[in-house]
Amino acid sequence: MRIDAIILRELHMPLVRPFETSFGVTRNRRILLAEVQSEGLTGWGECTAGERPFFSSETTDTAWQVMVQELAPTLAAESPEHGGECPRIFRAVRGNPMAKAALENAIWDLEAQREGVSLSRLLGGVRESISCGVSLGIQSSITELLEIIERELAAGYQRIKLKCKPGWDVEVFERVRNRWPGIMLSCDANSAYRLRDEDHLVSFDAFDLLMIEQPLWHDDFYFHSMLQKRLNTPICLDESIRNRRDALAAIEMESCKIINIKLGRVGGFSEAIAVHNAAMERGIPVWCGGMLESGVGRSHNIALSTLDNFTLPGDVSASARYWKEDIIEPEVTVSREGEIAIPDTPGRGYEVKTDLIERLTVRKETIREMALVA
Ligand code: OSB
Ligand code: MG
């Protein structure tokens, strides 16, 4: 595929409500989109880096710089036939997986359109719908949280994940479990605990949680494996799993029993499929995490979630939970049964609203050919 142009855009999109985790509050997203034009077709990708380097070291600004200076010119100079060639094309650039994923995923989108198949089909997906859960941020009171849970359960969501941190954990779980003894409930600490909290974390076992996500350091396997030996509740790793080798190490060391796969964190569809396959071969279930994506990233998460081993409800939910108006059409909706139906049209299956994207754009850069000659 000849690459005619790569257009990078930063969009400012306010969330309909703030999202609070153990590392901070997000009110406004700075969304970075990659549009890759090739032989009359247009592929889209989204960089899931945050505004600040808290979830990972990448940010909207660092990703922008790496994409403009390194990745986009390198990609524009190549003529990849498949999204799967991108890891090789980007190999000289170390790290920066979210920047790489935005471009690689746009190439997979293009490839699906060229082949006339849905992105799900191209990836090897096997599902016609996917199971959805919600990730609920830290609230100002437990009463407020209970009201939100009630609303999300009524909407059909199959699993409730609670963001937690020291001071917002056992008391919250107790109140939620008392009210809903049977729901699928999990928690996500985003690395908020330390070894001194081990006994406290073991006390989470009382709440019959589906999993405890990333309780310890963002880059750790060893101490998670020590903790897992003491816990009945499965540990799920998010931040720690950057690629297939990490998944193999974590599984081998029994650092986790479940893996959260995020496209940005692992660097795109190729590595996400590799992590998925490694986990499946070893009997470890996976699910698809979210990063407060716009409709573009959301549509990629939906396609990924159709792979065989995505057997647990993910964090991919309806557009309206995040945005007053999403940048895709139709917006992502979730059925009363808590499922998203998989589109079977070529590519992502959701059109982008180009006028709205243009209006939300605060910075734009077009890359046409190799700007730097190595
Ligand atoms: O750890 O899953 C996480 C959002 C930003 C950074 C990290 C995480 C999250 C979420 C949001 O949990 C999930 C969503 O997109 O709804
Ligand atoms: Mg997480």
312, 258 in Cβ contact below 8 A?
yes
Is 262 catalytic? The answer is yes
What's the confidence (pLDDT) of residue 370?
52
Environment class of 242 (CB within 10 Å of its CB; exposed 0-12, middle 13-18, buried 19+): middle
Among 135, 241, 304, 326, which is best to mutate for testing ligand 1, by the most ligand atoms less than 8 A from CB?
135
Query: Which atom, in ligand 1's list, is nearest to the CA of 214?
Result: 1
- Quote the CA–CA distance of 58 and 96 in Å, as a whole number: 7
What is the 8-class DSSP label of residue 335?
Answer: -
CA angle 309, 182, 332 (to 5 degrees): 50
340, 132 in Cβ contact below 8 A?
yes
Among 292, 304, 326, which is best to mutate for testing ligand 1, by the most ligand atoms less than 8 A from CB?
292
Strand partners of residue 26: 19
- Quote the CA–CA distance of 162 and 185 in Å, as a whole number: 8
pLDDT tens for 45-80 read 999 999 999 999 999 999 999 999 999 999 999 989
pLDDT tens for 99-123 read 999 999 999 999 999 999 999 999 9
The model's confidence at residue 373, banded by pLDDT at 50, 70 and 90, is: very low
Q: Is the pTM of this model over 0.85?
A: yes
Rounded to a whole number of angstroms, the CA Rg of the chain reads 20
- State in Å: Cα 289 to ligand 1 middle: 7
Is 163 catalytic? The answer is yes
What's the confidence (pLDDT) of residue 372?
46
